[in-house]
Amino acid sequence: IYEAMVRMAQWWSYRYMLVDGHGNFGSMDGDSAAAQRYTEARMSKIALEMLRDINKNTVDFVDNYDANEREPLVLPARFPNLLVNGATGIAVGMATNIPPHNLGETIDAVKLVMDNPEVTTKDLMEVLPGPDFPTGALVMGKSGIHKAY
């Protein structure tokens, strides 16, 4: 859990950091984070948006693993976290690598799809032209982005 929290506090790992970390959370040059006893963390403002309406019956709750507590089936996120922060992971027989995107452009794209579920990739790329990496990047040509979308 600590390694995941560290990544969520690193500005170069997440486009929009979900953890406000205090202490040594490593460096972009590869320096490791300090031991967890030397760090403190709290949820960032944008992460709190994923929980804002949790008590307003916006999502279903289910029993936890031992039925002692109830937990949300999903979070009532007020922003598209998967699209703006991306995801990287592997599992048995599958893998994913979703790049991060600009929040404003992503919201415009989500609204466009909601208004017109049959929107073309070309039209979608007018508002969401490509990934937005936290450390910056230079995209050479858009055909690869179009193919990925």
Q: Which helix (H) or strand (E) holds 2?
A: helix 2-9
Among the listed residues 63, 65, 9, the one whose alpha carbon sits nearest the alpha carbon of residue 34: 9
What are 71's two structure tokens? 């937990």
Query: Can you tell me the distance from the alpha carbon of 124 to that of 134, in angstroms, rounded to the nearest whole number?
Result: 22
93-98 contacts: CB < 8 A, separation 24 or more?
none
What are 93's two structure tokens? 């027989």
Among the listed residues 134, 131, 99, the one whose alpha carbon sits nearest the alpha carbon of residue 13: 134
Among the listed residues 70, 76, 71, 37, the one whose alpha carbon sits nearest the alpha carbon of residue 54: 76
Question: Among this protein's residues, is 2 annotated catalytic?
Answer: no
Going by the DSSP 8-state scheme, the letter that residue 43 receives in this structure is E
| From 2, 14, 16, 38, active-site residue | 38
The residues that are catalytic are 38
